[in-house]
Amino acid sequence: MVRYISPFRKWDETHADNAEQPFNGLSSFHLPREGFYYVGEWGPCSASCGQGIETRPVECVYIQAYTAKKVPLPEYECRGQVKQNSYRECYIKPCPINEATRQPPLSRYYKEKSRRFRWDYGEWSPCSASCLGGKQHSKLRCVDTARNIPVGWSFCDSRQRPVDVRSCNTHPCPPSWEVGQFTRCTKSCGGGVRFRKVRCVRTVIEANGIKSIMPTNETLCRSVRPYSKERCAVVDCPPKWKAQSWFPCSVTCGEGVKTRAVSCVQEKASGEIVVLNGTDLCRYEKPANYKVCNLGGCPHDRYFSDRAQQLGEKMFFDQTEDTGVISLKLPQGGIIFEGTDIKVECPVRKFPRNRIRWFKNGEQIVSSYTDRVRVSPHGRLRIFNSSYADEGIYTCGGKKLVEGNTTLKFKPSSKKPFSKTGEKGSKPNKLSLHQKSNIKEEYYMKPHFAKKIELQELLEQSKSDKDRKTLEELGKVEDNTEFLVKFVTTDWSPCSQPKCGESGLQHRQLECRITADEYMAIASDYICKTFGLVKPPTQKRCRATHCPKWKASSWSECSVGRCVGHQVSVQKRTIKCVDGDGATVNSTFCDRRTRPKLKMKCFNGIAIY
């Protein structure tokens, strides 16, 4: 026979040496070590005369060693012990006889009735809770003891009807998983993820009798842990433009061009990004795939600097002899006589050359063998009888979307630009209107190359005093000079609203600039717009960044020194207000409404309230 040992007894034996003296002068040595039936005092009789019943509490309890309090236990903790009756008959005095009817006293009627008919509990219903205290209801019935059969309730004494509800399953609940609501999906398409909070908790009853949920170690939850994240938005995204990072400027000094690859892509439901062949599939305007860059003046009076040659790497070619044919290799580029046949090689390795793609200003070159501009079977770009129409930014693609890029410009084959006599080193007439400017050359889009005669015609039509003065200075420049027309801007001003969380405005200056070599003049916006240039914005909304925010440390271990409930303690952590650089600042700079909690209740399995 296996002897049953209560878990409360085991706890007492483990902690007996450290136990404090209980209240009311009781010693833990004299307290029962197992559950027992506690029998209370009899209550008053249910009848003032004649036969009645008295009731008293009889329940299985355990006396807590520290406090000498009675802790209710389930019935199985007291098995093997005799449970005394919780009710009995009582008789205070006889009731008076009804003279009118000459019937015997009611007490005699009820006494005779109680001898033959009695209340019986019958079967108890299942417990309403599996743990932490539930209720059971009995199928109360009235039994005829003579025939041992159930009869109607009216045969039994209603004053002796026993209580038909009792407590059950009062033992603590085992740890279980608590699952929260899912968050919003991280993406609206292309396969995102959403999260939810999953933790192992235990339900306990605090000193005030209120149920409380406490987090506990996940190893105590024996069932399979529910998943805390799942995929969502598993649908294809609509096609959109995707721009790569800008390549470095195409020159080492002076004005050059930056390029980048812009392609129409679609993100599939699986998360894979696919490049689409048709650019008409993407909505909205295609982003710019090139812009002008300026790295400062060159040491020689030329379009391109000799600095690259001095470094032993000739990246740009300024054609001085009309040879008829030249060969270049990306990223090499330069200024070439018009009418020259050009071969450009793509610097791709370990890639089939017949699959190399070429682009001009971001648009793929699709050609046949008879076209003047075409891609050879060996992946080279061929331009026959080149002209000014061939000016632009050329890129090639192999393994990567962009393997390299270069800029090609052209000049008349008879003489060099900006020259009076054809002698090397001669300089053009200067435009004296603006020799210097504090405007930073930050270009918004592709500039426009214009001939002198085009500018003169537009400046004559303009009514701006600024343009008329520029027209006068333009007459001092040679007729074959080519001008660069562009919008330039300053840096953005600081945000007008430095306070965190509030929006403000930023401003910058803008001007339409006409340049030739190292000289420049300022024209009205009308001139730049006439050449198809888009005016950049001079104002935009802004919001202060790097606002201070709360930073919380990790939670401490569940405390064993301070108890706030039965087997319930607290965890603590520290918080501080930090700025964008992580430095601690005064807490008044952080939003008090978002301040994290400093304490949290936890289940330690030891604490005693």
pLDDT tens digits for 145-173?
A: 888 888 888 788 877 888 888 888 888 88
Alpha carbons 579 and 559: distance in angstroms, whole number: 32
Asked if the structure places residue 153 within a domain, the reply is no
- For 586, residues 6+ apart whose C-beta sits below 8 A from its C-beta are 577
Q: Are residues 11 and 46 in the same domain?
A: yes
C-beta separation of 30 from 19 below 8 A: no
Q: Are residues 473 and 410 in the same domain?
A: no
If you average pLDDT over residues 263-286, what whole number do you get?
84
If you average pLDDT over residues 237-248, what whole number do you get?
87
Alpha carbons 568 and 269: distance in angstroms, whole number: 47
Q: How far is CA 370 from CA 58, 177, 378, 472, in A?
A: 109, 73, 16, 48
Residue 184: per-residue pLDDT: 93
Of 360, 390, 414, the one marking the end of a domain is 414
Answer with the residue of higher pLDDT: 278 or 246.
Answer: 246
Of 38-47, 234-243, 501-510, the range with the lowest mean pLDDT is 501-510
Residue 365: per-residue pLDDT: 83
Asked if the structure places residue 474 within a domain, the reply is yes
Alpha carbons 356 and 397: distance in angstroms, whole number: 6
- DSSP string computed for 522-590: EE-HHHHHHTTPPPPPSEEEEEB-S--EEEE-PPPPPPSS--SBTTEEEEE--EEEE-TTS-EE-GGGS
Asked if the structure places residue 121 within a domain, the reply is no
Asked if the structure places residue 130 within a domain, the reply is no
Q: How far is CA 53 from CA 107, 458, 508, 599, in A?
A: 12, 118, 97, 53
C-beta separation of 250 from 405 below 8 A: yes
Where does residue 348 fall: left (phi above 0), alpha (psi -120 to 50 degrees), or beta otherwise? beta
pLDDT at 287 over 80: yes
Tell the burial category of 49 from Cβ atoms under 10 Å away from its Cβ (0-12, 13-18, 19+).
middle
Alpha carbons 537 and 487: distance in angstroms, whole number: 11
Of 13-27, 52-66, 357-371, 516-530, the range with the lowest mean pLDDT is 13-27
- Averaging pLDDT over each range in 220-229, 361-370, 424-433, which range is the top one? 220-229
**β-sheet bridge partners, residue 357:** 397
Alpha carbons 235 and 130: distance in angstroms, whole number: 44
Q: Are residues 362 and 426 in the same domain?
A: no
Q: Are residues 298 and 345 in the same domain?
A: yes
Alpha carbons 578 and 165: distance in angstroms, whole number: 59
List the Cα angle 338/342/343 in 5-degree steps. 170
* Run of H or E residues at 450: strand 448-451
Residue percentage of the chain with pLDDT more than 70? 73
* Run of H or E residues at 37: strand 36-39
- For 509, the token pair is 């200056």
Residue 402: per-residue pLDDT: 63
If you average pLDDT over residues 120-132, what whole number do you get?
85
pLDDT at 113 over 60: no
CATH number of the domain within which 332 lies: 2.60.40.10
Residue 430: per-residue pLDDT: 35
Q: What average pLDDT does the structure give for the chain?
A: 74
- DSSP string computed for 205-259: E-TTS-EEEEE--GGG--SPPPPSEEEE--SPPPPEEEE-PPPPPS-SSSEEEEE
Q: Are residues 477 and 534 in the same domain?
A: yes
Asked if the structure places residue 127 within a domain, the reply is no
Of 2-11, 47-56, 243-252, 254-263, the range with the lowest mean pLDDT is 2-11
Q: Are residues 498 and 403 in the same domain?
A: no
C-beta separation of 267 from 235 below 8 A: no
Alpha carbons 507 and 203: distance in angstroms, whole number: 60
Q: Are residues 304 and 323 in the same domain?
A: yes
- For 204, residues 6+ apart whose C-beta sits below 8 A from its C-beta are 132, 172, 211, 212, 214, 565, 566, 567, 568, 603
Of 191, 217, 232, the one marking the end of a domain is 232
Residue percentage of the chain with pLDDT more than 90? 8
Q: How far is CA 200 from CA 197, 217, 281, 509, in A?
A: 10, 6, 50, 60
If you average pLDDT over residues 40-67, what whole number do you get?
79
Of 89-98, 169-178, 221-230, 496-505, the range with the lowest mean pLDDT is 496-505
Alpha carbons 307 and 313: distance in angstroms, whole number: 9
Asked if the structure places residue 157 within a domain, the reply is no
- Averaging pLDDT over each range in 10-14, 271-275, 464-468, 483-487, which range is the top one? 271-275
**pLDDT tens readout for residues 505-530:** 787 888 888 887 656 788 888 888 88
Q: Are residues 425 and 511 in the same domain?
A: yes
Of 381, 414, 447, the one marking the end of a domain is 414
Q: Considering its fold, how many domains does the chain have in total?
A: 5
Alpha carbons 553 and 575: distance in angstroms, whole number: 6
Residue 106: per-residue pLDDT: 45
Q: Are residues 198 and 87 in the same domain?
A: no
Q: Are residues 557 and 529 in the same domain?
A: no
Which has the closest alpha carbon to 155: 165, 146, 164? 146
pLDDT at 593 over 50: yes
Q: Are residues 4 and 49 in the same domain?
A: yes
Residue 308: per-residue pLDDT: 33
Alpha carbons 394 and 400: distance in angstroms, whole number: 15
Asked if the structure places residue 158 within a domain, the reply is no
Question: pLDDT confidence of 198, banded at 50, 70, 90?
Answer: very high
Domain span at residue 298 reads: 236-414
Asked if the structure places residue 163 within a domain, the reply is no
Q: Are residues 375 and 255 in the same domain?
A: yes
Alpha carbons 171 and 537: distance in angstroms, whole number: 72
